[in-house]
Amino acid sequence: DTGVSQNPRHKITKRGQNVTFRCDPISEHNRLYWYRQTLGQGPEFLTYFQNEAQLEKSRLLSDRFSAERPKGSFSTLEIQRTEQGDSAMYLCASSSGTSGGRNEQFFGPGTRLTVL
Amino acid sequence: AQTVTQSQPEMSVQEAETVTLSCTYDTSESNYYLFWYKQPPSRQMILVIRQEAYKQQNATENRFSVNFQKAAKSFSLKISDSQLGDTAMYFCAFNFGNEKLTFGTGTRLTIIP
């Protein structure tokens, strides 16, 4: 088990382009989370999945953002028509166990997005 | 609204000394979970220590311990015998009974050799 992995690690794109990031959680972790971290700030919650179901979305997740976890394993986060304000580190995390919030979330290394 | 505040943007301490990082929060929830995460330079975030709000005993993990004051809504992290590998951003984070973590803005800790 190599932990949570994210690809690509870095992405530079031009404003208006679409980008897609992938997250592979720890095997058999049923929960998967996406966070966004801007410079000098802590991570902010975007959305989370339990198995393949997307159970909560932050108001930060505008209509240009969509996330999927089609088979309850890996997840993708797509940003359409990127804007300069989308530049950030996008973090993925996964966890297992019972619900209620006590479980450790294991984080991936992140995808750093730069929108020119 | 649930907020988390880390009022120390940066701290530095000599190797082998003890350092305390502060965190305060605001919530109307009665049961929640508190975490300190460490984010080393260019590396992924890892859990340092976890505290459950209904437990009065402060959590301890080797050189790391917390001082949890529920009435004061304070959750500080003490690092004893600090080591160079402790250099990192430290975030306090809370789970207020749902599945998402709410993070503070972080404290950049530098251990000086």
Q: pLDDT (tens digit, 9 = 90+) per residue, B4-58?
A: 999 999 999 999 999 999 999 998 888 889 999 999 988 899 999 999 888 889 9
Whether B1 has a pLDDT exceeding 80, the answer reads: no
pLDDT of B89 reads 97
Scanning every residue of chain A, which has its alpha carbon at the shortest distance from the alpha carbon of B35?
Answer: A104
Best interface-test mutation with B: which of A2, A45, A95 has the largest number of B CBs within 10 A?
Answer: A45
* Mean pLDDT along residues A76-97: 95
A74 and B CB contact within 8 Å = no
Work out the minimum CA distance from B106 to partner chain A, whole angstroms. Answer: 6
Whether A100 has a pLDDT exceeding 90, the answer reads: no
pLDDT band at A102 (very low <50, low <70, confident <90, very high): confident
Whether A104 has a pLDDT exceeding 70, the answer reads: yes
* Mean pLDDT along residues B67-92: 96
Whether A18 has a pLDDT exceeding 80, the answer reads: yes
pLDDT band at A1 (very low <50, low <70, confident <90, very high): low
pLDDT of B84 reads 96
A97 and B CB contact within 8 Å = no
Whether A2 has a pLDDT exceeding 80, the answer reads: no
Whether B103 has a pLDDT exceeding 80, the answer reads: yes
A 10 A CB-CB count for A21 gives 21
